[in-house]
Amino acid sequence: MYKNFIKPVADWIIALCAFPFFCILWIVVAIAIKIEDGGPVFYMAERIGKDSKKLKMFKFRSMKVNAENILNADGSTYNSKDDPRVTKVGKFLRETSLDETAQLLNMLKGEMSLIGPRASGWDALPTYKDDEIDKMKVRPGITGYTQAYYRNSISVREKRLYDAWYANHISFGLDVKVFFKTIVTVFKHDNVYTN
């Protein structure tokens, strides 16, 4: 009942109620991005959505236009405090997770949830192992179990396993815990960078 009805309805209501507040914040963010380098405000990331379908995920652009895509050895996205590809505004957006708030638009479209597994890059789909694939049984989230408790401190493999575990154990109580842990993690700036 919670997973298939209450959670999706609650996500849509939350997104609808939060939209006016975030619109004000987004105007400020958009102006800051435009002033710094004049490039596009949004970065549309191709990600794996529910049931392994392609998802165009909204993010506020934090990197310079046409920045090179650099990956770590385990296939995760390179992410360093001194990454020269990241703009000054982008660094602030990343450290405060404001770049992720644009995904509220995906929530309004019913493509994402407030809390759920982190959506992997579309190109990563063939690399998933059988014990990781359950991650895609649910809609990806703006935040989730691995972001709240581990952020960038564990391997891609561990993240996928935790996300699959979450997808198979969704409950209202678990989502409440993840929500409040996310707030603590964001304010403490825990594990923002992989390098």
Other C-beta atoms closer than 10 Å to the C-beta of 189 total 13
Question: What string of pLDDT tens digits covers the 195 residues of the chain?
Answer: 999 999 999 999 999 999 999 999 999 999 999 999 999 999 999 999 999 999 999 999 999 988 887 766 666 667 777 788 999 999 999 888 899 999 999 999 999 999 999 999 999 999 999 999 999 999 999 999 999 998 878 989 999 999 999 999 999 999 999 999 999 988 886 555 444
Query: What are the domain boundaries of the chain?
Result: 2-188
Contacts of 133 (CB under 8 A, 6+ apart): 52, 164
Which residues make beta-bridge pairs with 54? Answer: 48
- How far is Cα 188 from Cα 171, in angstroms, rounded to an integer? 26
H helix runs in the chain, sequence order: 7-37, 88-96, 104-108, 145-149, 156-168, 172-188
At 158, list the tokens.
């561990």
